[in-house]
């Protein structure tokens, strides 16, 4: 006969199905699956966005012709924030502890860069930080109210600093136009349907600022991102850095330089 665990799972699934719209069923059920049994281990990978956590991007932009490679920042300076000031509004659904973690991330930029995150005072362009599903942001200043989602599993300092870095104006480090000189993508280990998450950003859109590739960047994927089998999806060309990529806990020294160069 069925054991207690099977009975519990059956009860759980039937309860969820009866009580929630179909679109929410798998989101609710996923929360009860032990982390080690989930295929995707990072909440930013569960957002269903471009490269896992970038909102508002047309993938066709990647097909633009290559231009001269100049860092992984936006090339269009009209999309950067005036005087480094980024106004924001914050969802009232965040707990006091979550607000504290957010403010610590803001402070990391204040202490290390010229970027200031300040509460909105009527500005037209601003960040709307919401408690949504998954972790994602748009890149740079897109105009008007632009959303950053920080849902369940996103409230770690390094994740928030990463998402804020997108809003400052940065793409992922591993999507640099010159990335093949520095990393190898192991395509056979990537989840089905997820290979596009490893596309490079055209140099037409991206300014490399003449800075070196940064294995220690807060904007780098880890070595097993979107892995279908637990094996590496990214390995570094330079020995000894495969286990370093994607482990940053805060802005790297080169991240700080890049922000200063905006």
DSSP class of residue 190 equals B
CATH for the 77-168 domain, from 1.10.246.90, 3.40.640.10, 3.30.390.10, 3.40.390.10: 3.40.390.10
**Phi then psi dihedrals of residue 54, to 5 deg:** -110, 120
Largest CA distance in the chain: 68
- Does 41 carry a binding-site annotation? no
- DSSP H stretches of helix in 82-147: 96-112
If DSSP codes are grouped into helix, strand and coil, which group holds residue 89? strand
Residue 104 · residue 120 · CB < 8 Å: no
CA separation for the pair 249, 31 (Å, rounded): 25
Catalytic residue among 163, 211, 235, 238: 163
Q: What is the structure's pLDDT at 206?
A: 52
- Does 172 carry a binding-site annotation? yes
Q: What is the structure's pLDDT at 211?
A: 75
Along the chain (262 residues), what's the average pLDDT of each consecutive run of 10 residues?
Answer: 41 36 34 35 48 50 38 58 96 96 98 97 97 89 93 93 94 90 97 88 59 93 95 97 97 94 84
Residue 73 · residue 211 · CB < 8 Å: no
If DSSP codes are grouped into helix, strand and coil, which group holds residue 211? coil
Each domain of the chain, given as residue ranges in start order, spans: 4-38, 77-168
Q: What is the structure's pLDDT at 20?
A: 39
- Does 157 carry a binding-site annotation? no
Q: What is the structure's pLDDT at 177?
A: 85
Catalytic: 163?
Answer: yes
Q: What is the structure's pLDDT at 173?
A: 93
Tokens of 222: 């880890």
* Strands (DSSP E) found in the chain: 73-74, 85-90, 116-119, 126-130, 135-136, 145-150, 183-185, 206-207, 234-236
CA separation for the pair 234, 242 (Å, rounded): 7
> What's the N-to-C CA distance of the chain in angstroms?
65
């Amino acid at each position: 006969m069925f054991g207690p665990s099977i009975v519990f799972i059956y009860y759980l699934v039937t309860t969820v199905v009866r009580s929630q719209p179909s679109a929410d069923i798998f989101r609710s059920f996923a929360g009860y699956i032990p982390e080690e049994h989930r295929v995707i281990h990072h909440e930013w990978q569960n957002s269903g966005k471009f490269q896992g956590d970038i909102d508002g991007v047309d993938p066709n932009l990647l097909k633009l012709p290559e231009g001269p490679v100049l860092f992984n920042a936006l090339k269009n300076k009209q999309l950067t924030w005036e005087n480094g000031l980024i106004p924001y509004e914050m969802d009232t659904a965040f707990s006091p502890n979550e607000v504290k973690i957010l403010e610590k991330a803001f402070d990391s930029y204040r202490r290390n860069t010229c970027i200031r995150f300040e509460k909105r005072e009527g500005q037209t362009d601003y960040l709307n930080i919401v408690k949504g599903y998954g972790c994602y942001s748009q890149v740079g200043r897109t105009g008007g109210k632009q959303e950053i989602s920080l849902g369940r599993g996103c409230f770690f300092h390094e994740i928030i600093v990463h998402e804020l870095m997108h809003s400052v104006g940065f793409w992922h480090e591993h999507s640099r136009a010159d990335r093949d000189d520095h990393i190898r993508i192991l395509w056979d280990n990537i989840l089905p349907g997820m290979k596009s998450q490893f596309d490079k950003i055209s140099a037409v859109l991206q300014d490399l600022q003449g800075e070196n590739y940064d294995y220690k960047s807060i904007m780098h994927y880890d070595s097993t991102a979107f892995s279908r089998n637990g094996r590496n999806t990214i390995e570094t060309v330079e020995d000894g850095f495969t286990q370093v990529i994607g482990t940053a806990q805060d802005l790297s020294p080169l991240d700080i330089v890049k922000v200063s160069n905006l």
